[in-house]
């Protein structure tokens, strides 16, 4: 992880655009449980994020097709996803506030390979008090959101490292 981290941090920092708010940003979350809300997978099946994660540490990226700052993260999230699996972690993106078909077409068009879910009606985002994109959540192995931030940046990556280290220490 240490070999690729500086590249990812540099990429995220260079590409970070201002977060576009559709509501006032909430304070960073203290440890809260993932909401048990049904999202939709790209194939149209219902999916709950807590069940999809199956105890893995995760970076959850909230995004929208119209968000330029979100698009700046796609490549970095793809690389992070490839590397996270070897550490028992995963990257999952949740498209918020847009129709499933639009998101599925966009993901295919952009060639995004990491896991994608859709929150058409902001139910998942609202349950977390999160209405800004891009947003980065870190979820620990017990399904608790331990970090909420804006764009993927050094602070989010530090929270990911801490969650992975805590999981390793707990074994």
Instruction: Note down pLDDT in tens along the chain; length 171 residues.
Output: 444 444 344 334 434 444 443 333 444 445 788 999 999 999 999 999 988 898 899 999 999 999 999 999 999 999 999 988 888 899 999 999 999 999 999 999 999 999 999 999 999 999 998 889 999 999 998 999 999 999 888 888 888 888 888 776 676
Question: Strand runs (DSSP E) across the chain, as ranges?
Answer: 20-21, 32-33, 38-41, 46-48, 57-63, 89-96, 115-119, 132-133, 135-139, 144-149
Please say whether the beta carbons of 94 and 117 come within 8 A. yes
Which 8-state DSSP code applies to residue 18? P
Position 161 scores a pLDDT of: 84
Global pTM reads 0.80
Task: For the chain, give percent helix, strand, coil, nearest 5.
Answer: 40, 25, 35
Nearest to 148 by CA among 38, 37, 52, 19: 19
pLDDT tens digits for 129-171?
Answer: 888 999 999 999 899 999 999 988 888 888 888 888 877 667 6
What is the rounded CA–CA span in Å between residue 44 and residue 31?
30
Q: What percent of the chain has pLDDT over 90?
A: 53
For the chain, which domains are there? 5-170 (3.40.30.10)
């Amino acid at each position: 992880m240490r070999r690729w981290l500086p590249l990812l941090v540099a990429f995220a920092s260079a590409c970070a655009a201002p977060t576009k708010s559709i509501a006032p940003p909430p304070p960073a979350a203290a440890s809260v449980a993932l909401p048990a809300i049904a999202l939709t997978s790209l194939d149209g099946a219902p999916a709950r994020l807590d069940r999809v994660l199956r105890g893995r540490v995760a970076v959850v990226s909230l995004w929208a097709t119209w968000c330029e700052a979100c698009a700046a993260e796609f490549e970095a999230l793809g690389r992070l996803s490839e590397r996270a699996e070897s550490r028992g972690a995963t990257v999952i993106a949740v498209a918020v506030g847009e129709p499933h078909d639009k998101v599925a077409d966009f993901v295919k068009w952009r060639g995004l390979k990491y896991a994608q879910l859709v929150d058409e009606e902001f139910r998942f985002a609202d349950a977390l008090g999160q209405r800004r994109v891009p947003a980065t959540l870190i979820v620990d192995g017990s399904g608790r959101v331990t970090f909420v931030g804006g764009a993927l940046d050094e602070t989010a990556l530090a929270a990911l490292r801490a969650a992975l280290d805590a999981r390793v220490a707990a074994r």
